[in-house]
Amino acid sequence: MKLIKTDIPQVLLVEPTVFADERGYFCEIYKKETLENALGYQLAFIQDNEAKSTKGVLRGLHYQLPPFAQTKLVRVIQGSVLDVVVDIRKGSPTFGKHVAIELNDKNKQQLLVPKGFAHGYVVLSDTAIFSYKVDNYYHKQSERGIIFNDPQLNIDWNYPIDKLIISEKDTIQPAFAKADLFEKEHNINE
| Residue 107, phi-psi category: left (phi > 0), alpha (psi -120 to 50), beta (remainder) | alpha
CA distance 105 to 75: 8
25 is catalytic: no
Of the CA atoms within 13 Å of residue 87, those in its CB half-sphere come to 22
DSSP 174: P
| Side chain identity, residue 152 | Q
Q: Which of 132, 137, 139, 186 is catalytic?
A: 132
Please indicate whether residue 62 is annotated as part of the active site.
Answer: yes
Q: Which of 30, 62, 159, 186 is catalytic?
A: 62
**Cα 174 to chain centroid, rounded:** 19
Residues assigned a catalytic role: 62, 132
